[in-house]
Amino acid sequence: MAPMELPTDLTPELAPLYWLLGSWRGQGRLGSGEQDDPIFTQDVTFRDTGLEFVEYRAETWLADDAGTRLRPLSVESGFWSLDRARTDADVGPGLDPADVVPAYRSAGDVDQLAQQDGSFPITATIAHPGSLTELYYGKIKGPQLQLATDAVMRGEHAAEYPGASRMFGLVNSQLFWRWDLRSADGTMTPHASAILDRIATADEVSARR
C-alpha cells in the first residue's frame, strides 16, 4: 500500500489514526459470518474535529441478500484518541478551554508516544442506544487497530453486556472490522464483521471545512 499523504493542518497526534478518517460504507454479517447469518449494511464516519480526538459514528441496518436495507439495527457514536497523560492543552472537563499551545506540535513529538514495537496506545469511548457505553483501550500500529473493553457503563434497564473486543484493518483500501462479545464466563464469541469501502475522504468529512 502506498504511503498516505497527511494534510498539513491535521492535528499531529491524529497522524496514527489518519487511515481511518473519512466515511465508509459496506456490508457484513452478524455472528461468525456464516452464509445463513443475518446480513447488515453499515455507514461509518471517522471525523477530524480539529481537536486531539476523532469523532466516530456508525449507523447499521438489517438487510436482505441483495443488500437492500430492511430496518434500522443500531447507531453508535463516540470519540477515539491516542492514550496519553492529560495536559493543559486538552479541552474540558465540560467547556473549559484548552491552552492555545498544543501538547504535540509535530509528528516527531507524537512519535515519543510510540511503544517499543512501534504501536501507539489508543483509547475509545462508544455509546449505544439503551443506556450503554463502552470504554476501550488498545493499540494501533500502521493500518491495524485492536481494542478491548476496560469498563462498561450500563443504565438501570440496560441489557447485559460484560465486554467486547474490536479489530480494524485497512486491506487493499478497504476497511475490515470484527467485533467479538465477552460472555459472563469470559468466553469471547463472534458478534459481527464487515468490509467497508471509503465513500468520502478525510477532508470531505472534516469539521475544519
127 within domain boundaries = yes
- Count of C-beta atoms within a 10 Å radius of residue 91: 14
Taking only the tens of pLDDT, the chain with its 209 residues reads: 444 555 567 888 999 999 999 999 999 999 999 999 999 999 999 999 888 999 999 999 999 999 999 999 999 999 999 999 999 989 899 999 999 888 888 888 899 999 999 999 999 999 999 999 999 999 999 999 999 999 999 999 999 999 999 999 999 999 999 999 999 888 999 999 999 999 999 999 988 76
- Count of C-beta atoms within a 10 Å radius of residue 170: 17
Distances in Å between the alpha carbon of 189 and those of 163, 178, 183, 193? 11, 11, 8, 12
The CA distance from 128 to 86, in Å, is: 26
208 within domain boundaries = no
Residue bearing cell 443506556: 131
2 within domain boundaries = no
Which range of residues forms the domain containing residue 64?
Answer: 12-200
Please report, for the domain that includes residue 156, its CATH number. Answer: 2.40.128.20
Q: How many domains does the chain have?
A: 1
pTM here? 0.93
